[in-house]
Amino acid sequence: MSGPDQLQAVAAAFEAHFGTAPQVVASAPGRVNLLGEHTDYNGGYVLPIALKHLSVAVAVSRGAVPGVIEAWSDTFHEAETRAIGEARAGRWSDYLLGCVKAVAEAQVAETGLRAAVITNLPLGAGLSSSAALEVASLRAVTRLYGIEMSPQEIAIAARAVENDFVGMPCGIMDQFTSSVGQPGAALFLDTRTLAFTPVPGFAEHRFVVVHSGVSHQLTDSGYATRVAECNAASAALDVEMLSDLGPGDLARIGAIPEPLNRRARHIVTDNRLTREGLVALQQGDAVAFGRLMIASHASERDDYEITVPETDALVAAAVDAGALGARQTGGGFGGAIVALVPRAQVEDWCAAITAQFAHARVLAVT
Ligand code: GLA
């Protein structure tokens, strides 16, 4: 369910819970990243696609109690009541509370807020469920109070909520893709300048997203450890950000201590692969693109060490079953893989993969 159906469903969930229709409904998509992983907080390039049928929808109205947010989620089957002045509490409503605080604290202090949330985006799959919740919340609340914000401004505000309120030191890829991306089209983004180029997908091939069945929790320490390692590598190499480095720097990168050398090498590798990926996509060269995906997975696995045995096995099987390339997508430590499959073979390919892996689930074909 997505688009108008999902908006209707969130309005119905709101009405069932609160007894009145919502004043505003909004939604925002998840994303699958094709190339450029963990490059975004290093000022590098990324190449994601906003997903057409996987999204979060939020319905809101002015509330009954000044300063209080009453939130309901069908996904968690849980009502949460939060005061606008509260700190984060490690709950799903933190994302909503953080977004409301960021743009409409004074308004909600006066009117209160009611919100219902539904999603068909699996959590912990590496498809940006939290960014989609943030962007949908910001879209809904800004419309409710008549606050003007551009899609870029919403992306920047959403990332700030995630960094400063939720406490996850992510880059801007997910929020930018959810807010600015056109569902179904790829977006090449320079995360340092926020300059971006939309690119259509391949005519005769599809990107297939398959969940490995292993869910991650990015607020766990693995992600933050990588951010800290990149900062330490930048200091050791005397650059502001690792994206200042290129293939010509690989010798001096190799000379800094383990594992910082491999972390920095991954950023240089994936940045290059992402730039090459843009060209391959623009030229319609699916074979070249598939090779870049395979190289990117190897770098995620060997240098960045963010893959798990289940995603490694799935990527290998994906290629054996006829994909031109495949790699783990998103923050890592589990979650989903994305594979590039000839359009005519998608159905058979999905059947072969799900027959082989009991826990694998096809989430999207784009
Ligand atoms: C998560 C973060 C993003 C990005 C990816 C890895 O999705 O939210 O900012 O760092 O991991 O590429």
Q: Does residue 272 have a pLDDT over 70?
A: yes
Cα–ligand 1 centroid distance for 226 (angstroms): 11
Q: Does residue 217 have a pLDDT over 80?
A: no
Q: Does residue 219 have a pLDDT over 70?
A: no
Segment 317-328, tens digit of pLDDT: 999 999 999 999
Q: Is the CB of 92 under 6 A from ligand 1?
A: no
Segment 108-154, tens digit of pLDDT: 999 999 999 999 998 888 899 999 999 999 999 999 999 999 999 99
Residues of the chain with CATH 3.30.70.890: 201-365
Cβ partners under 8 Å of residue 14, min gap 6? 21, 22, 25, 59, 61, 72, 114, 115, 116
Give residue for tokens 């430590």: 333
* Residue 152 CA from chain centroid, whole number: 16
Residue 155's pLDDT band, with cuts at 50, 70 and 90, is: very high
Give residue for tokens 């890829």: 173
Protein residue closest via CA to atom 8 of ligand 1: 170
CA pair distance 20, 60, nearest whole angstrom: 11
CATH for the stretch 3-199: 3.30.230.10
Q: What is the CA radius of gyration of the chain?
A: 20
What pLDDT, on the 0 to 100 scale, is given for residue 68?
98
What pLDDT, on the 0 to 100 scale, is given for residue 154?
98
What pLDDT, on the 0 to 100 scale, is given for residue 151?
98
Residue 174 among the catalytic residues: yes
What pLDDT, on the 0 to 100 scale, is given for residue 221?
78
The residue-averaged pLDDT of 225-230 equals: 97
CB 161 within 8 A of CB 211: no
Percent pLDDT > 70 in the chain is 98
- Min mean pLDDT across 211-225, 312-326, 350-364 is at 211-225
Pocket test of ligand 1: the residue of 42, 174, 187, 189 to mutate, having most ligand atoms within 8 Å of its CB, is 174
Closest by Cα among 285, 348, 281, 293 to 325: 293
Average pLDDT, the chain: 96
Q: Is the CB of 37 under 6 A from ligand 1?
A: yes
Angle at 227 between CA 224 and CA 231, to 5 degrees: 140
Q: Is the CB of 171 under 6 A from ligand 1?
A: yes
Residues of the chain with CATH 3.30.230.10: 3-199
Q: Is the CB of 134 under 6 A from ligand 1?
A: no
The residue-averaged pLDDT of 18-39 equals: 98
Segment 80-116, tens digit of pLDDT: 999 999 999 999 999 999 999 999 999 999 999 999 9
The residue-averaged pLDDT of 208-213 equals: 96
Segment 304-319, tens digit of pLDDT: 999 999 999 999 999 9
Q: Is the pTM of this model over 0.85?
A: yes
Fold exhibited by the domain 201-365: Alpha-Beta Plaits (3.30.70)
